[in-house]
């Protein structure tokens, strides 16, 4: 067995033992242990949330007073008083409004994205699609994330990754790259912890949610 397969199996086993729905949960655990960007009482958005590993981790961190809103093409069906889910395509025009309502009409402290398209096997195509998903999350965050808020985003490495990294740098005060241990060493994905959201002013079609349709 190769080293990366052994590591993948280790995190799968750990996820099963600790009751997490995905080994991806350990990527968020590692990042939040290092940067401590999710606190009790926070409101967290999770784009590309199914099957729900990150939501479980975020729900533990925000506690009873906080809220986690997960969005995915697939139903998540995770129970919890501090959990809401929206089954939708992030590209749908009404998704911003649905998230805004789920948040109770106020902005989130943290935006997460582990969005990944179904992989075709043609890397340029998959990377381009993943880049578009990430750009869409940045667009939605213009209305939904509070000023000075935090983010943790997956990005496939490839032709468009420099362009997206530049967008992160333009829209956040500081950007840190992470390759979590639970991310397979052979996979060309990196994660970015971003702090200090500069707000709707940096989104092309930005604007404050109040008085606008946050789609
Ligand atoms: C790697 S998985 C997320 C795993 C999750 N972070 C966890 O811990 O369980 C990526 C998710 O992105 C979702 N996704 C891909 N394209 C999407 C889109 N256009 N809109 C919403 N979700 C999408 C997929 O359905 C998939 O569930």
pLDDT in tens, the chain (215 residues): 577 777 888 999 999 999 999 999 999 999 999 999 999 999 999 999 999 999 999 999 999 999 999 999 999 999 999 999 999 999 999 999 999 999 999 999 999 999 999 989 899 999 999 999 999 999 999 999 999 999 999 999 999 999 999 999 999 999 999 999 998 877 799 999 999 999 766 654 433 443 344 44
Architecture of the domain defined by 3-200: 3-Layer(aba) Sandwich (3.40)
Residue 88 Cα, ligand 1 centroid: separation in angstroms?
11
Where do the domains of the chain lie? 3-200
Residue 142 Cα, ligand 1 centroid: separation in angstroms?
20
Ligand 1 shell residues, CB under 6 Å: 21-22, 24-25, 48-54, 71-74, 89-91, 114-117, 133
In terms of Cα–Cα distance, which of 114, 99, 123 is closest to 192?
Answer: 114
Give the Å distances, CA to CA, from 64 to 35, 82, 108: 22, 6, 16
C-alpha–C-alpha distance, residues 107 and 100, integer Å: 8
Helices 161-171 and 123-144: crossing angle in degrees, nearest 10, is 10
Q: Which atom of ligand 1 is nearest the CA belonging to 90? A: 20
C-alpha–C-alpha distance, residues 39 and 53, integer Å: 18
């Amino acid at each position: 067995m190769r080293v990366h397969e052994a590591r993948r199996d280790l995190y799968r086993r750990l996820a099963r033992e600790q009751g997490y729905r995905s080994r991806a949960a350990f990527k968020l655990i590692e990042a939040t242990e290092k940067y401590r960007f999710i606190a009790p009482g926070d409101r967290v958005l999770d784009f590309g949330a199914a099957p729900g590993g990150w939501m479980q981790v975020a729900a533990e961190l925000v506690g009873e007073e906080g809220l986690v809103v997960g969005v995915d093409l697939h139903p998540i069906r995770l129970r919890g008083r501090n959990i809401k889910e929206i089954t939708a395509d992030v590209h749908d025009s009404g998704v911003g409004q649905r998230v805004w309502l789920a948040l109770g009409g106020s902005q989130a402290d943290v935006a997460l994205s582990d969005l990944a398209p179904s992989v075709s096997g043609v890397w340029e195509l998959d990377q381009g699609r993943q880049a578009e998903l990430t750009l869409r999350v940045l667009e939605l965050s213009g209305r939904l994330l509070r000023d000075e808020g935090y983010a943790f985003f997956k990005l496939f490495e490839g032709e468009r990754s420099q362009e997206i990294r530049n967008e992160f740098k333009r829209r956040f005060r500081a950007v840190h790259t992470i390759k979590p241990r639970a991310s397979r060493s052979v996979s060309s994905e990196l994660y970015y912890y971003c702090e200090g959201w500069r707000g709707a002013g940096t989104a092309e079609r930005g604007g404050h949610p109040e008085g606008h349709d946050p789609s």
